[in-house]
Structure 1
């Protein structure tokens, strides 16, 4: 399966997901009940998924041995549409050349990025007096930003004997650092005021051609994609009266 087909399938799957969840919005919102937590503040996130590289050794996802990806981070919701996030991901990338190059590459990458997140739908549902108390079950989003990668690649003959430590020479000193631009999107599913789950697809464009310890084409930088599922946790405000004021609700006062 080439890279274009891979991403078309992902896009088709996300489209179906958006359509089916949109049909279930009203019923799910009613089952979830009313929220008294403002759509603003800190969110802690952690996730896991799979990663694949696009480089001189492997130009499509068909020659990838899909690697693992793990990440942690924090997100600050500024309003129902805009958020900013800081994320750290650890990835293992592996690919095998399908031609006569006889190269297998493995790379360990730490990605540190800051991103701007935009919700394609208002996080709140309803209208008029009920708008601030009802939240959507599913909200699609896009995100993008930049940062740096700290990477350590190694390459070796694909046909080397088992338990052999034969490797190709390093083309530069590792570990090394390079810039990265990240773009992508996903869907956030809200299950309670504290817990949400967000599958997402991200593409990372680096400024280095050495992510695979190979620089046969200096004009083509190495990139990689990540498909992951993230768990989002929103800490509960300690002051319930303060929370009510944020929502525009008058707190109950006892009569003297």
Structure 2
């Protein structure tokens, strides 16, 4: 146990060293999985979990605060499990999302204090994220189960697609810092939309809108900008 503790302490000390201030641009990309909550499905067992991808950038203004913009693609889908229907309804929806968010660290990015503050940073920083944006989506529904293909018989669209809706992303994650340049952040986001037709289903008395959740793993890259005056060769 003592050797494990020393190795852990040495690792945290090594990754904690930094000469970069907690300000500036961060470039990020992520992959994940998406699930939907709609009139057809609101539970894991009826969800057809789809892929999700995102790219974006953050601008850190302080050790606590950053502003970001993200562009993402994801696929939503679910199958209605109704024993009273001989053919269950399945839908598949392609979504492109653009959003702007505010990121708030729940801990100071710096682990040190006083004269050591600028040289030591935390390995793990929890954060929350929230903002607003737009989704551009196309929904298709069909009888039975499985994935949508070219030979599938589909139901008529209940509205004109592609369609656009506002979205409010809310969530958070943990940022693991491995160097001045690279961090990894598992993140969970819940997207509140104002769309009723992500599942291509006519509504009856239920006025609830459709929402979706995305679990991401993001890679964050902070470019190292060298001082050209100090590094100039004479």
TM-score when scaled to structure 2?
0.88
Deviation per CA, 1:194-237, whole angstroms, max 9, x where unpaired? 00000000000100100111132551100000001000000001
How many Å separate the matches in 1 of 2:79 and 2:8? 44
SS in 2 for 1:208: coil
Q: Which runs of 5+ in 2 are unaligned?
A: 1-6
How many Å separate the matches in 2 of 1:233 and 1:159? 40
**Number of equivalenced pairs:** 218
1:25 Cα shift?
A: 8.4
For 1:47, the equivalent position in structure 2 comes to 30
For 2:193, the equivalent position in structure 1 comes to 206
Q: Which runs of 5+ in 1 are unaligned?
A: 1-23, 243-256
Matches within 5 A, 1:1-256: 27-32=10-15, 34-99=17-82, 100=84, 102-158=88-144, 164-217=151-204, 218-239=206-227
Q: 2:57–2:68: 8 Å Cα contact kept in structure 1?
A: yes
Deviation per CA, 1:10-48, whole angstroms, max 9, x where unpaired? xxxxxxxxxxxxxx9865431225211110000000000
How many Å separate the matches in 1 of 2:195 and 2:175? 32
SS in 2 for 1:173: coil
1:61 Cα shift?
A: 2.0
Go from structure 1 to structure 2 and tell me whether the alpha carbon gap of 1:210 and 1:163 turns closer, same or farther (over 3 Å shift): closer
Q: 2:16–2:123: 8 Å Cα contact kept in structure 1?
A: no
For 1:13, the equivalent position in structure 2 comes to none
Q: 1:56–1:215: 8 Å Cα contact kept in structure 2?
A: no
Go from structure 1 to structure 2 and tell me whether the alpha carbon gap of 1:40 and 1:240 turns closer, same or farther (over 3 Å shift): farther
Q: 1:113–1:145: 8 Å Cα contact kept in structure 2?
A: yes
1:240 Cα shift?
A: 7.1
How many Å separate the matches in 1 of 2:19 and 2:13? 15
- With 33-42 and 116-125 compared, the bigger mean Cα shift is at 33-42
How many Å separate the matches in 2 of 1:170 and 1:80? 48
SS in 2 for 1:30: helix
Q: 1:25–1:137: 8 Å Cα contact kept in structure 2?
A: no
1:241 Cα shift?
A: 7.3
What do you get for the CA RMSD once the two structures are aligned? 2.0
- With 24-33 and 87-96 compared, the bigger mean Cα shift is at 24-33
Q: Which has the higher strand share?
A: 2
